[in-house]
Amino acid sequence: MAAARALRNLLAHMEPQIAAAALVDEFPWVDLLPQRDRAQFVTDFVRAFQASAEMGQWTPLAQTVREWKATAAVYADPELVEQLTNPLNDDFGAVPDPTEG
């Protein structure tokens, strides 16, 4: 736990560019993210790490990494990026009323 706290404090006070470089070394798929998303990944990673270290529960950090890795996988496929970033022009019909449950 002491090591986690030390790393948490280090990440919190590290220059963002240095933290980003360290994380790219550990997670090479970060290179697939656009620059603005790389910065957001670093911010999200640091916050999730801090929360996980504080609680002694690493699920939030694992989820953050898993979600950003999935985002990087989308950016690795140019056709998928195009499909997901273009506006929808089709009318998909009426939306049914939600069922009561």
Per-residue pLDDT at 55: 92
Per-residue pLDDT at 41: 93
**Whole-structure pTM over 0.85, yes or no?**
no
43: its two tokens: 């911010």
In 3D space, the residue among 30, 64, 36 whose CA is nearest the CA of residue 49 turns out to be: 64
Per-residue pLDDT at 21: 82
3-state secondary structure of 18: helix
User: How far is residue 17's CA from residue 13's CA, in Å, rounded to a whole number?
Assistant: 12
Biggest distance spanned by C-alpha atoms of the chain? 56
Model confidence over 17-27: pLDDT tens digits? 787 788 888 99
Indicate the range of 61-65, 80-84, 85-89 predicted with least confidence.
85-89
Per-residue pLDDT at 4: 63
In sequence order, which residues have a C-beta less than 8 Å from that of residue 79 and are 6 or more positions away?
none
